[in-house]
Structure formats: C-alpha cells, structure tokens
Structure 1
Amino acid sequence: MKWAFWIFVALYAAALFIFLVGAFGWFGQEKDPLSAVFLMPLGLPWNLIGDRIGRASAALALLAPAINAAILFGLWKRYSR
C-alpha cells in the first residue's frame, strides 16, 4: 500500500502542476482550458458522483484526487504492521 499511495501522490502532484501551468499560462505556455484533463481520472468516482448530484465544479475536480489519496493513506496505515 505504501507504494500505491506514493505513486498516486506523485501522479496527483504532476497533474496538479500541469493544470496550474495550463490554467495560468506559466513558463510561456498558452492558457489551455483542457489542462485539468489529467486530474479527472485520478478523482474518479468522486467526479462522477458530484456531476450526478449537480455539484460539479473546478474545486471538486481539484480536490477529488485528494479524497482518493486519503483513502489510500488510510488503507496503508491500517494494513501496515
């Protein structure tokens, strides 16, 4: 579980960095409305649940992967002996 958690956190950090670069045009990049596309699969199923109940937002797309990271962290701590 430790490896799954750290790999997920690294992917989340990379996707968040790509989002920030694309959203704010850092490093000479043009602003890209699809820069959050890498955050979407990391936040499943919470993105889909938020969309179904009508609460889809940019904040949900940014924070949904953190929920999955918290779940992985909890599993890691529960099953590590």
Structure 2
Amino acid sequence: MTRACTIVTVGFALLYLVALGLFAVGTLGLFGAERDPLAGVFLIPLGLPWNRLVDTFPEPLWPWLAAAAPLLNVAILTALCRILRRRRAR
C-alpha cells in the first residue's frame, strides 16, 4: 500500500511540474510561444479545492496562489504516505 501511495504522490508531483512549466511558457511567452491567458488551465484541477479560496486574496496575488495551490495537495499526499508508512512499521 505504501508503494502505491508513493507512486501516486510522485505522479501527482510530476503532473504539477508539467502544468507549472506550461503555465510559465504560456504566461511569459518563453521559447517563442505566444502569450496565452489560458496557460494555467492545467493547474486548476490539480489545485482543487484550494484554488477556490484564491478569490479571498488581493487580485495581484491570484496567479501566484493558483500556481501554488497544488503544492498543498502534494503536501497532504506526502503526509498521508508518511502516516501509512508509520502504521505499517508497527
């Protein structure tokens, strides 16, 4: 069970890094790509439910908070894996 938890956590983290890279390329116009206002669309499902709370912060912080929201899910998955690993060690 802990191996599956680790695989899911690493897979989620890799998806987050890919989505963050696409967000950077589309937002900043890197590598000759045109700037796209929908560049962060892949970050939205990865950051649920935390990105629903972004509206409570000042508007200039919205892109940064939306990009960081999936980190909370990665942290939660990591914590759950550690808890499972400790229970299994008993």
Tell me which residue corresponds to 2:81: 76
Residue 50 of structure 1: CA displacement?
A: 3.2
Q: 1:22 aligns with which of 9, 21, 26?
A: 26
Q: Does 1:32 align with 2:36?
A: yes
Residue 44 of structure 1: CA displacement?
A: 0.2
Q: 2:64 aligns with which of 44, 56, 59?
A: 59
Question: Runs in 1 of length 4+ with deviation above 2 angstroms?
Answer: none
Question: Which structure 2 segments of 5+ residues have no match?
Answer: none
Q: Does 1:13 align with 2:17?
A: yes
Deviates more, 1:42-51 or 1:20-29: 42-51
Identity of aligned residues (%): 46
**Secondary structure of the residue that 1:36 maps to in structure 2?**
coil
Counterpart CA distance in 1 for 2:53 and 2:34 is 31
Q: 2:53 aligns with which of 42, 49, 64?
A: 49
Tell me which residue corresponds to 1:4: 8
Question: In the alignment, is the contact (CA less than 8 A) between 2:54 and 2:66 conserved in 1?
Answer: no
CA offsets 1:11-59 (integer angstroms, 9 cap, x no match):
00000000000011111100011000000000000111333xx337112
- Provide the TM-score with structure 1 as the length reference: 0.90
